[in-house]
Amino acid sequence: MAGITRFGGYVPRLRLQRKAVVEANGWFNPGLAGLAKGERSMCNWDEDSLTMAVEAGRDCLGETPPSNIRAIHFASTTMPFADRQNATVAATALQLGEDLRTVDLTSSMRAGTSGMIEALENIEGRDGQILYLAADHRETASSGAQELQMGDGAASFVLGNDNVIAEFLGSHQMSTDFVDHYRGQNRSFDYNWEERWIRDEGYFKIVPPAIEALFKKTGVSGDDIDMMVMPALIRGVPQKIAKGAGIKDEAVQDNMHAIMGEAGAAHALIMLSRALQAAKPGQTILVIGWGQGCDLMLFRATDAISGFKPSLGGVEGFLARKKEESNYNRYLAFNELIERDKGIRAEVDAQTALTTLYRNRDKVLGFVGGKCTKCGTVQYPKAHICVNPNCGEWHSQEDFRFADVPCTVQSWTADGLTYSPDPPTHFGMVTFEAGGRLMADLTDVDKGGVEVGMPLRMVFRVKVEDERRGFKKYFWKAAPDHRKV
């Protein structure tokens, strides 16, 4: 049977306090006061949809990924590259090999659910599994309601036929060109339409017949639904749709708007990932995706769900790992919503030598070093000669991936002179549990919050952006291990 065999998620550490946004913009838009409660997730300056997708993928795959991943599908409406396959970058970062099918899915808020239905309906009877990633980092104009309502996050799933923890029972899709919002070509921000129209003519007329068709197709009724996943920015919409379908009120899952906002094409799947963390064997989960029609998926948790836990704590774990951010200017700066004078130290040409990047892709994107087959010494980067002074063997090293190896701070520096989008720049000598060390950038740390011996884990982040040519450089940085700190 086809279904979900693993799941994971990711929510950035920073949580922008909505009160800070309202205090800054209330003079211009007093109506924002009604949205002042709660917080929204916020990417750090070195995070985007791709880095979040990789982190969610690591949460899902764990330290020992399945050996039979045959494809990676990546859904997002905010891909870092418009013409460079983003799923291929994720595949390299996760080091799942190159004998893969890679697909980018975009252009609609239901890209995440539509792509997942397509993958599930085509995987049955096939060998191998699919790693399915979804992430969004939506940009919004400042001082509008969407700035408060949106959020950043990612979800991931392994889809396959064996050792299924959530069986895929069926799906139904409706394609209707109902435009509740849109973003035109070469535009940064969405244009949104009136809420009452979206609610009455959109949700309430499109979703109910789709649910009825799904129930008829699968033989399931509203009474059978234990969990209903449905993102909707308009208050009360999921509850009314559930009531009309005969689904009990307690089945409607929290949409997390109060604690992270809505993460676009990824949000229904983030909610699904969180629901799976709480699901018990035999429970039935209905997932509804929305955007120019709707997608419906039906799952039933199997006995195997009790034996699986996301490697990094899943959506719940990342929700718990948070830092409140009340500096609205920092949010504006990280999202390039204001033009800053970055100073002359930032005036460095950051052109990427694409030939060098290609030749070193596993070292740079996959964080692969070397391990001596003679003495067992590990090192980064991989070299022709073993660094062990008692060995010095030539051409003895095999690939060794450092990304999942625990590490600690040996020494560190906070540099206020080097340019950084979020000064001071933190970096230091990082030592790995398996051996080897690296002078690495530190991220997700606060001024005065770094200590020698602090447990760290490596994370895939933006190193620098070539703004002149629109090319992002990715590398691995050290961040506090939220499971140990």
Residue 339 lies in a domain: no
**What are the structure tokens assigned to 470, written together?**
């629109």
Beta bridge partners of 181: 192
Range list of β-strands (E), 43-192: 69-75, 101-105, 129-137, 152-160, 166-175, 181-182, 191-192
Same domain, 252 and 361: no
Same domain, 137 and 262: yes
Residue 385 lies in a domain: no
Beta bridge partners of 480: 456
CB 94 within 8 A of CB 273: no
| Residue 192 burial class via C-beta count within 10 angstroms: exposed 0-12, middle 13-18, buried 19 and up | middle
Residue 57 lies in a domain: yes
**What are the structure tokens assigned to 413, written together?**
């520096």
Same domain, 152 and 231: yes
**What are the structure tokens assigned to 367, written together?**
């964080």
The answer to whether residue 481 scores a pLDDT higher than 80 is: yes
Q: What is the DSSP string of 378-392?
A: EESS--SB---TTT-
Same domain, 181 and 126: yes
- Whole-number Å distance between alpha carbons of 80 and 180: 24
Q: Which residues contact 187 (CB under 8 A, 6 or more apart)?
A: none
Three-state secondary-structure class, residue 20:
helix
**What are the structure tokens assigned to 55, written together?**
């982190």
pTM of the model: 0.97
pLDDT confidence band for 69 (50 / 70 / 90): very high
Same domain, 325 and 409: no
Same domain, 293 and 441: no
Same domain, 184 and 304: yes
Could you list the residue range(s) of the whole structural domain that residue 448 is in?
A: 352-367+402-480
Same domain, 149 and 229: yes
Predicted pLDDT at 388: 96
Residue 347 lies in a domain: no
Same domain, 294 and 357: no
Q: For the domain that residue 159 is a member of, what is the CATH number?
A: 3.40.47.10
Residue 380 lies in a domain: no
The answer to whether residue 485 scores a pLDDT higher than 90 is: no
Predicted pLDDT at 119: 97
Residue-averaged pLDDT of the chain: 96
- The conformational region for residue 274 under phi > 0 = left, psi -120 to 50 = alpha, else beta, is alpha
Token pair 């309906």 is at which residue? 121
CB 153 within 8 A of CB 12: yes
Predicted pLDDT at 227: 98
The interaxial angle of helices 237-244 and 204-218, nearest 10 deg, is 40
Same domain, 360 and 327: no
Query: What mean pLDDT do residues 21-26 have?
Result: 96
Q: What is the pLDDT of residues 280-324, one digit of tens each?
A: 999 999 999 999 999 999 999 999 999 999 999 999 999 999 999
- Whole-number Å distance between alpha carbons of 175 and 168: 21
Same domain, 146 and 196: yes
Predicted pLDDT at 401: 97
- Whole-number Å distance between alpha carbons of 178 and 195: 13
Residue 34 lies in a domain: yes
Same domain, 102 and 72: yes
Q: What is the pLDDT of residues 317-362, one digit of tens each?
A: 999 999 999 999 999 999 999 988 888 877 788 889 999 999 999 9
DSSP 8-state secondary structure symbol assigned to residue 193: -
Please tell me the total count of domains within the chain. Answer: 2
**Cα angle 417-420-423, degrees, rounded to a multiple of 5:** 70
Residue 63 lies in a domain: yes
Residue 146 lies in a domain: yes
- Whole-number Å distance between alpha carbons of 245 and 216: 12
Token pair 């933006």 is at which residue? 462
